[in-house]
Amino acid sequence: MIRAAGCVLWRRSPSGEGIELAVIHRHKHADWSLPKGKLEDAEDAREAALREVLEETGMTCTLGAELPTARYEVADGRAKEVRYWAAEATGGAFEPNHEVDRLDWLSPTDARARLTYDQDKEIVAAFLATTATD
């Protein structure tokens, strides 16, 4: 089993009306996803979620509510479990890196449409249904 953690990273829109979600493009896989990654040895899921957001987006964040866990198989047939949290961006700036070449801040509707994988779209839907961002 591959264990991973990630976040639905959000911020208030610059206009002050509503929120925006971060979606990242991984050039190696040519996909759009939520910030997430594998747990390192002796790392708990919350620590991994914070580390992965920082590594992939350059953003610090505050973890909020835990969201449903995504469970699926990766291309080679191994099971993967990703624990997610709602996470408000608190600072930082994105710079392309070896894993992520682009980060876009989008409305929740546009973010769901942009995401490549159904499990990420489901996590965003759960975030919107359970997280108060007013």
Q: What is the DSSP string of 23-89?
A: EEEETTTTEEE-SEEEPPTT--HHHHHHHHHHHHHSEEEEEEEEEEEEEEE-TTS-EEEEEEEEEEE
2-130 has which CATH code?
Answer: 3.90.79.10
Question: What is the pLDDT, as a whole number, of residue 3?
Answer: 97
Q: Per-residue pLDDT for 15 more than 60? A: yes
Question: What is the pLDDT, as a whole number, of residue 130?
Answer: 87
User: Residue 5 is inside which H or E element, if any?
Assistant: strand 2-12
Question: What is the pLDDT, as a whole number, of residue 63?
Answer: 97
pLDDT in tens, 111-120: 999 999 999 9
Query: Contact, 34 vs 118, CB < 8 A?
Result: no
Tell me the C-alpha distance between 124 and 78, whole Å: 24
Please identify which residue in the block is written with the tokens 């989008």.
106
Residues contacting residue 85 through CB under 8 Å, at least 6 positions apart:
5, 6, 7, 8, 46, 49, 63, 64, 65, 66, 67
Q: Per-residue pLDDT for 12 more than 70? A: yes
Q: Per-residue pLDDT for 134 more than 70? A: no
Q: Per-residue pLDDT for 128 more than 80? A: yes
Percentage of the chain exceeding pLDDT 70: 98
Mean pLDDT for 101-121 is: 97
Q: Model-level pTM?
A: 0.94
Question: What is the pLDDT, as a whole number, of residue 132?
Answer: 59
Say which amino acid occupies 69.
T
Q: What mean pLDDT is reported for the chain?
A: 95
pLDDT in tens, 26-72: 999 899 999 999 999 999 999 999 999 999 999 999 999 999 999 99
Q: Per-residue pLDDT for 96 more than 70? A: yes
